[in-house]
Structure 1
Amino acid sequence: MDWAYFLDVDGTLIELAMTPDAIEVDHALPVLLETLHRQTGGALALISGRAVADLDRHIGILQVPRAGQHGLERRDAAGRLWRHETPEPVKRALLEALAPLLARHGGLLLEDKGSTLAIHYRRAPMLGAYVHRFLGRLVSDIGQGLQLQAGKRVVEVKPAGVDKGMAVAEYLTEAPFLGRLPVFIGDDITDETAFALVNERGGISVKVGPGRSCARYRLPGVAAVRAWLAYQPMSPHHEHP
């Protein structure tokens, strides 16, 4: 059976950076993705916490389908964009409540992705527990179908019930992904729903780096991910990590 590849971006295809805009995308990555996209008949999608527009800006190669904001927005193989929106009044209330927090703690960074609001504390890791508690109370107070999404030194407020696993499942109902064995590679807690979905479908789930995970396979880091992806399409027989 042919495989369909679903790839996280930060920490999987590129190294993590102190801020979202500080990432470095080398020239080899677009070449790798274009090659894999061509050799799989288009059955490749990026599944990221970044917004789709942000992926477009940093990664390019617009012909490759991509899901952003942990599945809240998704561009399919035909180029159609699907979105799960946060109501504007709810978003305004969140921004107003977050303003004093950001004013008090200069090490925190607010990233407005459109459908989600993310607070990065990579520059102030000692504030991590406090940020989680603050946002937890905020979501509880505002309600409106919101939930928290924790990541690596980041926590996001997002609409409830949408995740990376759902994004992968949606792709698997569409050409050219339909009928293929799913492969998902990711490095973060936000990827666990996709790992679980792929496991249920009998696919290949690959965790990058250390940490507990329901993924069935491991790769040590970004370089190993790229090397494995570069090898797979050229091999007459797929091999697990």
Structure 2
Amino acid sequence: MALFLDLDGTLIEIAPTPDAVHVPPELLQVLSALSARLGGALACVSGRAFGELERLVGSSGIALAGSHGAELLAPALPDPRIARMVRECKDALQAWPGALVEQKPCGLALHWRLAPAAEGAVRALGAQLAQQLATHHLKEGKMVLELVPQGANKGSALRALMQQPPWRGRQPVFVGDDYTDISAMQAARALGGRAIAVGPRVAEHADAVFDSPAQVLAWLQQQ
């Protein structure tokens, strides 16, 4: 098996803000041990920036693919256009306390989890950003819109890793919970593997469904 895991909503519970997540120490231990058993064929494929993945799960020693695959196994150089857009977004969302702008090296995310009434404004702002930056497009998640480079998606990341050792020649299994995971779920199945959903959001694209990150952890402990 070659195992590919999303992070937020899959390995850990989604928190009110990206910085407020909790990574159980036992999860890191399980990932480290499982990576060794799989000969290193274990990767976390996430929308989070590579640096954030390193901070949260890097100590487990698993491979990392951040920013929906735009940061494949290594961090990307910061895009100066993104820093300017982040400042503009913060100014535009001042009227919506709780609406957050998350800066990433090659993109950004607009969160409205703490400001549900801001959804319309956030969506309008996201559409405006996508028009301004033709090299990027929008991805939708749970109460978040992300501006990511064209061509960057978790399915492409999974396919790229499957062409390299130690993943090459194995059966891919992807576990995810959100719309941004669908491309990886489809890629795993197309390559003769399996897709597992966490929760009902993308269950129609999966071969099996887990109820929660806790159930994912219990499954990982059995592998």
**TM bracket, shorter-chain basis:** over 0.9
- C-alpha separation between the residues in 1 aligned to 2:78 and 2:20? 27
Name the SS of the counterpart of 1:104 in structure 2: coil
Give 1:93 deviation, angstroms. 4.5
Q: Kindly indicate whether the alpha-carbon contact (under 8 Å) linking 1:120 and 1:153 is maintained by their aligned counterparts in 2.
A: yes
State the 1:129 CA deviation: 3.1
1:175 paired to 2:165: yes
How far 1:92 sits from its partner (Å)? 4.5
Aligned to 1:153: 143
**Does 1:50 find its partner at 2:48?**
yes
Residue 104 (structure 2) aligned to one of 100, 113, 130: 113
Indicate the structure (1 or 2) with the bigger Cα radius of gyration. 1
Deviation per CA, 1:125-181: give whole Å up to 9, x if none.
Answer: 2222331122112312x1332100111111111111110111111110111000000
Q: What SS is found at the alignment partner of 1:162?
A: coil
Q: Distance in 2 between matches of 1:38 and 1:122?
A: 37
Distance in 2 separating the partners of 1:175 and 1:144: 34
Give matches, 1:71-220, under 5 Å: 71-75=69-73, 81=74, 83=76, 87-88=79-80, 90-140=81-131, 142-212=132-202, 213-220=204-211
Compared CA separation, residues 195 and 87, structure 1 to 2 (3 A): same
For structure 2, the residue ranges without an aligned partner over 5 or more in a row are: none
Q: Cα distance 1:25–1:33, how it changes in 2: closer, same or farther (>3 A)?
A: same
What is the match of residue 59 of structure 2? 61
Which deviations, in whole Å up to 9, do the C-alpha atoms of 1:159-218 show, x marking residues without a partner?
Answer: 111101111111101110000000000011110010111111121100100124422221
Q: Per the alignment, do residues 71 and 50 of structure 1 end up closer, same or farther by CA in structure 2, a change over 3 Å counting?
A: same
Between 1:21-30 and 1:94-103, the stretch displaced more is 94-103
The 5 Å alignment of 1:35-46 reads 35-46=33-44
Aligned partner of residue 59 in structure 1, secondary structure:
helix
Q: Which residue of 1 aligns with 2:5?
A: 7
Deviation for aligned residue 1:61: 2.2
- Supply the AA of the counterpart residue of 1:163: N
Correspondence for 1:236: none
Give 1:34's match in structure 2, choosing from 32, 35, 53.
32
CA distance in 1, matches of 2:176, 2:156: 15
**In structure 1, what residue type is equivalent to 2:129?**
L
CA contact (8 A) 2:89 2:125 kept: no
Q: Please say if residues 56 and 62 of structure 1, whose CA atoms lie closer than 8 Å, have aligned partners that are also in contact.
A: no
Alignment CA distance shift 1:92-1:228 (3 Å)? closer
Paired residues of 1:73 and 1:82 also in contact (CA < 8 A): yes
Q: Which runs of 5+ in 1 are unaligned?
A: 76-80, 233-241
Counterpart for residue 239 of structure 1: none
Change (3 A) 1:86 1:193: farther
RMSD: 1.6
Q: Percent identity?
A: 37
Distance 1:24 1:39, change over 3 A: same
CA contact (8 A) 1:206 1:218 kept: yes
Kept in 2, the 8 Å contact 1:118–1:155? The answer is yes
Secondary structure of 1:175's counterpart equals: coil
Structure 1 SS opposite 2:205 = coil
Partner of 1:223 in structure 2?
214
User: How far 1:96 moved relative to its partner?
Assistant: 4.4
